Amino acid sequence: MEISASLVKELREKTGLGLMDCKKALAETEGDMQKAIDYLRTKGALKAAKREGRATSEGRVGSYIHMNGKIGVLLELNCESDFVAKTEQFAGLLKDLCMQIAASAPRWIGAADVPEDIVIKEKEIYMQQAKEAGKPDKMLDKIAEGKLKKFYSETCLLDQPFVKEDSKTVGELIKEKIAQLGENITVGRFTRYQLGQAD
**The pLDDT of residue 198 is above 80:** no
- Averaged pLDDT for residues 8-15: 76
- Averaged pLDDT for residues 27-33: 87
- Averaged pLDDT for residues 7-28: 78
Write out pLDDT tens, residues 115-146: 999 999 999 899 888 888 888 888 888 888 89
Contact partners, residue 174, CB within 8 Å, separation at least 6: 93, 158, 185, 187
Contact partners, residue 64, CB within 8 Å, separation at least 6: 72, 73, 75, 95, 98, 99, 101, 102
How many angstroms separate the Cα of 115 from the Cα of each of 6, 69, 109, 122, 156?
31, 31, 12, 11, 12
Domains annotated on the chain, with CATH: 5-43 (1.10.8.10), 58-109+156-194 (3.30.479.20), 115-155 (1.10.286.20)
Alpha helix segments (H runs only) across the chain? 5-15, 19-28, 33-42, 45-51, 82-85, 88-104, 116-132, 137-155, 170-181
Dihedral (Cα; 149, 151, 153, 157), 10-degree rounding? -120
Contact partners, residue 22, CB within 8 Å, separation at least 6: 8, 11, 12, 15, 36, 40
Q: What is the pLDDT of residue 117?
A: 94
pLDDT, the chain, mean: 87
Q: What is the pLDDT of residue 25?
A: 85
**Which of 66-80, 90-104, 168-182 is the most confident on average?**
90-104
What is the bridge-based pairing of β-strands 58-66 and 71-79? antiparallel
